[in-house]
Structure 1
Amino acid sequence: MVLTERGTARGVVAPTAVFTAVAFVAAGALGVAQAATPIPAVVIQLTQFGPALGVLVVAVLWPGLARTVLSGAVGRGRVGATGPLLLATAVLILVLGAGAYGLLTGDVRFTAPGALSSPFALIVVAQFIGACAEEIGWRCLLQPLLRRRLGPLATSITVGVLWGVWHVPVFGQSPAYAGAFLLATVSMSVVMGLALERVRAHRLLLSGGFHTLINLGLLLLMDEESGAVAPITAFGVSCLVAALIWVWRAPARIHLR
């Protein structure tokens, strides 16, 4: 049976809960399934499709709502300077993070694309697909959905917390590592949320592109997945700096409901 939006806190609470639950459960199941496949994690992680499955379930249960909140994911429209600025911010984060990491360790880490275990072109394409599978959930569905109830900054922080906690294996690391990781996800969510606040088209392309650049940069420039605190801290602080810049340059009304 297709559920109606009526009686569900104006179509926000129940869809949010369903999306989040499916995203978590599906990601866990897909993570287990990947172990039985020959797909290298460096190419793509199947867990990234958890949010996309969450979107699918919401679209089945609340088709009208899904069409409305996803209307800006693709389609025609101008994004002005937002696109270049958002993608440039990803580069800024990586430069700051890699630079800080180099200062902390005395060694600038760089993995040549040709030294990776899989063809770099394949990794780029797969990473973009995986990033879009995540972003269609976090930035294209959940962000505009929660935006109906919260202000831009509060929405971005909330999505960032959920996005960070969704990376469950991170919390098997030390508290300092997990805290720095959450700082990074919340800060990046603020960057994307504020950048896309008035964008009504190509949200998936922009957020997926930002996400892909970050993932590729981390792959080539840092070893934050090793569990070491230094690289993830450098990355988290660089994300925070970028978020503060976006908050500072945003119109005053961006902080309001």
Structure 2
Amino acid sequence: MTTATPVRQKSDLAVFWTVTFVTTWAFWFLAMALGGSPTSSPTAIPYLLGGFGPVFGAIVVRVRRGRRREPVPEHTVRFRLGARMLWVLPLLVLASGSVVGAALLADLLGGPAVSLTEGQKLIAALGGPAPFLIGMVIGGPLAEEPGWRGTAYPRLLATMGRVRAGLLLGAVWAVWHLPLFFISGTVQSELGLFTWSGLMFTLTVLPMALLTGYAYERAGVVAAVAVHFGVNATVAVLTVKSPVTQAFVLAVQVVVVFVLHRATTRRR
């Protein structure tokens, strides 16, 4: 099987970054202009569409590649039902467990107490567990992972190592989130951009990018979606907003990523 050259992959990345940021930020700036809650009409429509910017970018790259009959990148993980899928559940548990463990550790060491009260209110406000879970899968994991991990990540790996690729993608991913801090009613706007909570949210994107990148290498986009969902859903249920708890989440995920990277490097 032939693979795409680094030059072609850089061209694909340029197209992906452009389409992703232009579509996402255009929709989110429209949401800002409309005002109101991102869960109510008419603001909800551009708010939701903006989250799919990475998918729009991925679609454009794939259509472009298909028309040019270009080969897939060397590091692309194809979707196949099989042994690889056995990684999905353990990675989901690991992702969720990293947040739970960090929250409990913060509580034990004198930080904010772990509580499900606000999480239960959120689930009830969304109509129950099923709508909550569906919303958490679509809003973030499914809207983003086919682009970030399924399209950008394997192309970055063509010219750099896993850590550099993950950190670079994480930095881009963090910048991509910035408009959300200015849309009233989002988690990011509640945290505030120029606060410790806002800073910690931005920093936690980096180990999250490394962890989802690792998941992608193990079992493709499905695993990346599972990890993304596991972290987001657990953070929502536990209402992780305190910068102290966020700092523990950051530290725990850095350790998890370091251990996974070392284990994989030794096997190679």
Of 90, 111, 120, which residue of structure 2 is paired with 1:85?
90
Q: CA deviation at 1:73?
A: 4.8
Q: How many residues align?
A: 241
Look up the match of 2:214.
Answer: 194
Look up the match of 1:13.
Answer: 10
1:215 and 2:232 aligned: yes
Distance in 2, Cα, partners of 1:150 & 1:253:
19
1:118 and 2:126 aligned: yes
Alignment of 1:51-200 (within 5 A): 51-63=54-66, 64-65=69-70, 72-79=77-84, 81-103=86-108, 104-110=110-116, 111-113=118-120, 115-116=122-123, 117-119=125-127, 120-130=129-139, 131-168=141-178, 169=181, 173-174=193-194, 176-199=196-219
TM-score between the two structures when normalised by the length of structure 1? 0.78
Give unpaired runs (5+ residues) of structure 2: 182-187
Which is further off, 67-76 or 23-32? 67-76
TM-score between the two structures when normalised by the length of structure 2? 0.75
Q: CA deviation at 1:118?
A: 1.0
Look up the match of 2:39.
Answer: 40
Q: In the alignment, is the contact (CA less than 8 A) between 2:77 and 2:216 conserved in 1? A: no
Q: CA deviation at 1:92?
A: 2.1
Q: CA deviation at 1:53?
A: 0.8
Distance in 1, Cα, partners of 2:238 & 2:60:
37
Pair 23,80 (structure 1): closer, same or farther in 2 beyond 3 Å = closer
Q: CA deviation at 1:189?
A: 1.8
Q: In the alignment, is the contact (CA less than 8 A) between 2:87 and 2:218 conserved in 1? A: no
Distance in 1, Cα, partners of 2:10 & 2:267:
25
The C-alpha deviation readout for 1:211-236, integer Å capped at 9, x for no partner, is 11211111110242xxx522332322
**Which one has the bigger helix percentage?**
2
- SS at the partner of 2:113? coil
Give unpaired runs (5+ residues) of structure 1: none
Look up the match of 1:235.
Answer: 249
Q: CA deviation at 1:88?
A: 2.3
Q: CA deviation at 1:204?
A: 1.9
1:204 and 2:210 aligned: no
The C-alpha deviation readout for 1:59-85, integer Å capped at 9, x for no partner, is 233324585579635333421653233
Distance in 2, Cα, partners of 1:86 & 1:140:
17
Q: CA deviation at 1:194?
A: 2.7
Amino acid at match of 2:238: L
Pair 34,213 (structure 1): closer, same or farther in 2 beyond 3 Å = farther
- SS at the partner of 1:140? helix
Q: CA deviation at 1:188?
A: 1.8
Q: In the alignment, is the contact (CA less than 8 A) between 2:102 and 2:248 conserved in 1? A: yes
Q: CA deviation at 1:89?
A: 1.6
Q: CA deviation at 1:124?
A: 1.0
Distance in 2, Cα, partners of 1:154 & 1:70:
15
- SS at the partner of 1:105? coil
Distance in 1, Cα, partners of 2:198 & 2:119:
28
Amino acid at match of 1:151: G
Distance in 1, Cα, partners of 2:144 & 2:199:
21
The C-alpha deviation readout for 1:11-60, integer Å capped at 9, x for no partner, is 12222122112212222223245565986289x94432010011122123
Look up the match of 2:23.
Answer: 26
Distance in 1, Cα, partners of 2:107 & 2:70:
47
Q: In the alignment, is the contact (CA less than 8 A) between 1:70 and 1:141 conserved in 2? A: no
Distance in 2, Cα, partners of 1:190 & 1:239:
9
Identity fraction in percent: 22
Q: Aligned Cα RMSD in Å?
A: 3.2
